[in-house]
Amino acid sequence: MKVRVIAYYLPQFHPIPENDEAWGKGFTEWTNVAKAKPQFRGHYQPHIPADLGFYDLRLPEIREQQAALAREYGIEGFCYYHYWMGRDKLLLQRPFQEVLESGKPDFPFCLCWANHEWTTKTWQKDGKNKVIAPMEYGGEKDYTEHFNYVLPAFKDKRYITIDGKPIFVIYDPYHFKDISIFMEIWRKLAEENGLPGIYFVAQIANTSTIKRNADGTLTRVIPNLKDSKEVYNNILALGFDGINSYGKSRGEMCYQGKTMRIVKQLLHKKLPFLPSLKLEYPKVVSNFFAPEDKWDNVYPMIIPGWDRTPRAGNSEGIYVNSTPENFKKHIAQALNIIESKTQEHKILFLKSWNEWGEGNYVEPDLKYGHAYLDAIKENIL
């Protein structure tokens, strides 16, 4: 079965002034990845890159090598995280801007707007939180400026489309009150600029503890593990064309139980000296997909593993037995979900190409080499 695999791509592997100021000169994603410590016997940490080394994304040859690897193993393209913070403020934009302006690598791409504030809690383990760059929604003028910034990418021949329209993923559709107005403005601007439209995709958990109300406020709800109809319809009603469904919460709740998952997470926040939570990767991902992930406009997420030790120490659940062989079984389950969809919509989002700080990456490392990439290739080519 021919499948479209689109891999999320993190651009935080080069220094930026904001991170220099917050963490010290030269800070990148690699800083804490390299010094992560095992939390229990047999825990695989630190994760050390193989083929590409501790790379710097300002180097075009690294970006070419990444694209060559992805292409060889059947990945259609990269979905770059895009940090437009509002009012012309951008973060981590250099790698993608250079890809766009240089025309290299000649490899498909799209954008995911990472519309969340930039804070120290990503890397800080003492509970303090300092905002490095706030997320601001500046109204029509700001939305128009944002569109004009992205327009050259939309018009690039490499840009990934669904039904002929450029894909634009929005990371957090819940906390953006103006989201329907934003999409309406962009669709109008797209038409004025000769585009056939924009295919807006919401990245959301298929089992959620929050619901967005008509006025943009949020309500806490009891998560539904039977189906995701209400969650999906609630988001689609805002004007989205499709959904990128993420099953991490669902998988963990099915594995641990709703209440136990919440209790354990709260305990670890209050008592950080507790040993790390260990979750069996095969058992979590076996419950990753909801029945509605079979809908033609829902595009499931697959993940090779989860281990935020470099970022969170022992405060989060660590997936154990997240081996290439078990990842291959996870992909096979995802293929069963999408097999009856139209060819254009047989899409799996991969989280991620290079999220080394969260333990969800498929780039070669010293332990597994190309085995995670092989798992993708053997399933889809």
How much is the pLDDT for 340?
Answer: 97
109-to-6, 43, 104, 156, 294 alpha-carbon distances in Å: 8, 34, 11, 9, 24
d(CA 264, CA 269): 9
d(CA 347, CA 345): 5
121-to-158, 176, 268, 352 alpha-carbon distances in Å: 35, 21, 15, 21
Alpha-carbon torsion (331, 336, 337, 338), positive or negative? positive
d(CA 365, CA 52): 9
Helix, strand or coil, per DSSP, at residue 9: strand
pLDDT single digits (tens) 315-335: 678 999 999 999 999 999 999
How much is the pLDDT for 203?
Answer: 98
- Greatest distance between any 2 Cα atoms in the chain: 59
Neighbours of 226 (CB within 10 A): 8
How much is the pLDDT for 81?
Answer: 98
Tell me the pTM.
0.97
pLDDT single digits (tens) 138-158: 999 999 999 999 999 999 999
Structure-derived torsion over alpha carbons of residues 7, 8, 14, 16, reported in degrees to the nearest 10:
160
Q: Output the domain CATH number for residue 291.
A: 3.20.20.80
Would you say 37 and 106 are in contact if contact means Cβ atoms under 8 Å apart? no
* Count of structural domains, the chain: 1
Helix, strand or coil, per DSSP, at residue 245: strand
How much is the pLDDT for 98?
Answer: 98
Q: List, in sequence order, every residue forming a beta bridge with 361; answer none if it has no partner.
A: 354
Would you say 35 and 309 are in contact if contact means Cβ atoms under 8 Å apart? no
d(CA 345, CA 122): 33
Residue range of the domain that includes 236: 4-380
Nearest to 346 by CA among 255, 242, 228: 242
Alpha carbon of residue 274 to chain centroid: 28
How much is the pLDDT for 126?
Answer: 56
Q: Are strands 89-91 and 360-361 parallel, antiparallel or unpaired?
A: unpaired
Which residue in this structure is represented by tokens 């509605």? 292
The segments of the chain whose pLDDT lies below 70 read 1, 122-128, 315
